[in-house]
Amino acid sequence: MSFRALRYTAFYACLVLIGAVFVTPYLLAFFGAFKSQANLFASSPWSPPHSFYTGNFRTILFTDDFLRYLGNTALTTTVLTAGQVTFGVLAAYAFARLEFPGRDWLFSVYLATLMVPNVVTLVPLYTMMREFHLTNSYWAIVLPYVLGSPYTIFLMRQYFRSLPSEVFAAARVDGCSEWRILTRILLPMGKPIIITATIIAFVFGWNNFLWPLIATDTNSMQVLTVSTAALQSSFSDQWNLVLAASLVSLVPLLLFFIAFQKHIVKSVQLSGINR
């Protein structure tokens, strides 16, 4: 082999090795979830299961009620995403393309809240939910986030501002209402960033742990993160079950990633840090 070909092979081998580090935990979870408990402890962790034992998933989804938790998570995440993106687009449009008194001052307030660590708001939010008897409901899980997130509003606003102003000016001259401008012009032009915001919101909602942990303490209202953690502490020896439970959370996001990976990679560039 020529020296060049050798270097190429070495380079790609390197990349594959690094890739293996990033992929192995997923593989291990996958293998472990399909082994029975006895088999799991008898075989080495990186050996694939001989046969795909589905008992773990049957236990997890039905006996341990993970199907319900999956439903809870899907529902709350969808609602959270829908709300956050909808209200976020509206706000971002207003901050980017509308003029009104106090606009920039208000926007700085939004930005300032980005510095607040999430733990600071935990106790007050919990207290508020308790006062209104909203703990242990889907409301509690979703409410603090559904009206918009300053971060995604910021991202979208930056992007909307970078769109050519002539289009908007022309539309206004033509007498289009702001609503029409939003739906007919902004939404199509802003699709990339809106998709980015949707991805960010969905991933956030799906992975959210600390707030649902506090806001719900009955079993039926748990989301996947909370129930996976609880399962792990009560069944600490039954790794086969525990790994199956974590797969229930990981697989949907994995599919989501495979479907949207181009957008996810692009979203970094759209974050506009180099603007």
Using CB under 8 A, which residues numbered 229 to 268 contact other proteins? 229, 232-234, 239, 242-243, 245-247, 249-250, 253-254, 256-257, 261, 264-265, 268
For other proteins, which stretch binds (CB under 8 A), given 48-56, 58-66, 184-192? 184-192
Q: From residue 20 to residue 49, what is the string marking binding to other proteins with x (rule CB under 8 A)?
A: -xxxxxx-xx--x-------xx--xxx---
Which one of 10, 54, 104, 169 is in contact with other proteins (CB under 8 A)?
Answer: 104
Please list every residue from 187 through 226 that binds other proteins, using CB under 8 A.
188-189, 200, 203-204, 206-207, 209-210, 213-214, 217-218, 220-221, 224-225
How many chain residues interact with other proteins (CB under 8 A)? 133
Give 62 or 209: the residue with its C-beta nearer to other proteins: 209
Please report how close the Cβ of residue 62 comes to other proteins at its closest, in angstroms.
19
Burial of 59 (0-12, 13-18, 19+ CB in 10 A): middle
% helix, strand, coil for the chain, step of 5: 80, 0, 20
Please list every residue from 51 through 80 that binds other proteins, using CB under 8 A.
75-76, 79
The span from the CA of 275 to the CA of 271, in Å, is 9
Give Cα separations from 113 to 38, 150, 151, 215 (angstroms): 50, 7, 9, 22
Please report how close the Cβ of residue 142 comes to other proteins at its closest, in angstroms.
7
* DSSP annotation string for 149-179: -HHHHHHHHHHHHHS-HHHHHHHHHTT--HH
Give 58 or 172: the residue with its C-beta nearer to other proteins: 172
Q: What angle do CA 143, 149, 150 make, to 5 degrees?
A: 140
Q: Which amino acid is at 2?
A: S
Which one of 13, 67, 98, 169 is in contact with other proteins (CB under 8 A)?
Answer: 98
Q: What is the DSSP letter of 49?
A: P
Burial of 164 (0-12, 13-18, 19+ CB in 10 A): exposed
Please list every residue from 129 through 158 that binds other proteins, using CB under 8 A.
130, 133-139, 142-151, 153-155
